[in-house]
A and B are shown apart, each in its own frame.
Chain A
Amino acid sequence: MTAFASWLHHTPLSLVFQAQVRWLWPLCETLHFAGLALLLGVAGMFDLRLLGFMKRVSIAAVQEFMPWALVGFVVNLTTGLIFLISEPAQYFSNPTWWVKVAFLIVSGLNALIFQLAFSRRVNAIGPGEDTPVSFKIIGAVSLAGWLGVLWAGRMLPFIGASVGAGL
């Protein structure tokens, strides 16, 4: 892993990022916070509906907001990759980073499972109807998963960071 981090740190793309770090990093960090607010706001609302809150609205209607959650996710994926490529060792050497990756995988897989196996059932649930247990589980896992991503991300400078970390 350290060999990969070192190689990545010396690639042209990484060097470009490193050279522009003075404005690039604050910009990406700001967008990363904005992206998480969008993601948690929209997906959070959807998860709450899956859990059975806001029953007066049909799930399908709430689902229409989801592209905006994806916008938030893509913004964070992009800015996240910029961070990673700029200072790979800072992340790869930190166990908390891998915890964040684990939460990301759980959240992503959960969303995928919903899309593939359950989204057809969405149209069967109209306004005023409660959700089946399977939906509640998916909603709960999603909420917990994304909060876990947020928590692990914020804890990066505190748990597992090396003394050389620039965070």
Chain B
Amino acid sequence: MRFRAFALFLIVGLFIAITPAIAHHALQAEFDTAKRGEFTGVLTKFALINPHVRWYFDVAKNGGIEKWELIGAGPQALRENGMTRMFKAGETLKATYAPARDGSNTGRVVTFTFSDGRVITLYHEDPNNPNDR
């Protein structure tokens, strides 16, 4: 019986020891999906990589340039939806995103608006809402 208690203590202790106070990555844990941010910037790089696709932007703010990184789903998901050739470095996009909870210049992309007016949605909150696809 003593060993079960000891085992439990060790297991819980180890878990606590390596669990940081702040989770950082999985969507709702890393990003505040209840909020939205927005910017218009120049796409400097589009990385179709595992485990998450990333877009890098130069955003003109306060007279300077801010570097931003937006994160999306996995590259496979984008491939299956035919979205791999839409993004070209150098073009200007407007982005809406769920901001990172740690306040860094990172976000989980929600929509992109291209210069020709096309809007694509890369996050959906409510599957029942046809506008939120």
Contacts and interface: CB of A to CB of B under 8 A. Distances in A.
Contact of B76 (A9, A23, A157): A157
Contact of B124 (A3, A25, A30, A164): A164
B29 A164 contact: no
A166 B27 contact: yes
Q: Most chain-A Cβ atoms within 10 A of its Cβ — which of B29, B81, B123?
A: B29
Given A2-B128, A3-B128, A21-B28, A164 B123 contact: yes
A117 interface: no
Given A21-B28, A25-B26, A26-B29, A164 B128 contact: no
A25 B31 CA distance: 14
Given A23-B23, A166-B27, A9 B126 contact: yes
A167 B123 CA distance: 12
B113 to A, nearest CB: 16
Nearest to A19: B28
Contacts of B133: 164
Given A6-B128, A26-B29, A93-B127, A163 B19 contact: no
Chain A contact-residue range equals: 20 to 34
A162 B81 contact: yes
Interface in B50-89: 51, 72-74, 76-78, 80-81, 83
Interface residues of B, number: 26
B32 to A, nearest CB: 10
A26 B15 CA distance: 11
A161 B23 contact: no
Nearest to B108: A166
A151 B27 CA distance: 22
A157 B133 CA distance: 17
A2 B77 CA distance: 19
Contacts of B29: 21-22, 25-26
Contacts of A166: 26-28
Contact of B122 (A93, A157, A158, A163): A163
B121 interface: yes
Contacts of A23: 19, 23
19 contacts: A2-B127, A6-B126, A6-B127, A21-B28, A21-B29, A25-B29, A158-B77, A159-B76, A160-B80, A161-B74, A161-B76, A161-B77, A161-B80, A163-B73, A163-B83, A164-B73, A166-B26, A166-B28, A167-B27
Interface of B: 15, 19, 22-23, 26-29, 51, 72-74, 76-78, 80-81, 83, 121-124, 126-128, 133
Interface of A: 2-3, 5-6, 9, 18, 21-23, 25-26, 30, 89, 92-93, 157-167
